[in-house]
A = this chain, B = another copy of it.
Amino acid sequence: MMTADRLSTTFAALADPTRRAILARLTLGEASVTELTAPFAMSMPAISKHLKVLERAGLIARSREAQWRPRRLHADPLKEVADWVEPYRSFWEQSFDRLDEYLHDLQTQSKPHHPAKGKGHGRSKN
């Protein structure tokens, strides 16, 4: 994920349970790095790196308070995640996968052929 689009950066940031746990913690209110480190069996520099990833993804923001650098949640990029996933809803809600498998089995039994472009075998978005 070298230099990637915003959505890729967001997904990459979310692909780590520690980072998701940090976000969950921050829904309760801002927290210092020490506080964020406490729940994990991991050094503070490790958490600091995770925070940097979350920050670069725009998921948290840093403020200053004496020698503390409390982080707070910045959920905006998660809207893009929700917007991206939404169009797929119909595919998991209608048990699309099992239906598709069923249609596929019917089809390959009766009519072997190579997968032509845009074949679509009985199911499309509209």
Q: CB distance B123 to A29 under 8 Å?
A: yes
Q: CB distance A88 to B125 under 8 Å?
A: no
Complex CA gap A65/B63 in Å reads 57
- CB-CB under 8 A for A65 and B27, given A75-B92, A82-B89: no
Q: CB distance A17 to B32 under 8 Å?
A: no
Is residue A45 within 8 Å, beta carbon to beta carbon, of the partner chain?
no
Classify chain A's interface size: 35 or more
Q: CB distance A92 to B104 under 8 Å?
A: no
Q: CB distance B85 to A119 under 8 Å?
A: no
Q: CB distance B31 to A125 under 8 Å?
A: no
Q: CB distance A125 to B75 under 8 Å?
A: no
Q: CB distance A27 to B91 under 8 Å?
A: yes
Q: B-contacting residues of A (Cβ < 8 Å)? A: 1, 4-5, 7-9, 11-12, 14-17, 20, 23, 27-32, 35, 61, 63, 65-66, 68, 70, 72-76, 78-79, 81-82, 84-89, 91-92, 96-97, 100-101, 104, 108, 112-115, 117-121, 123-125
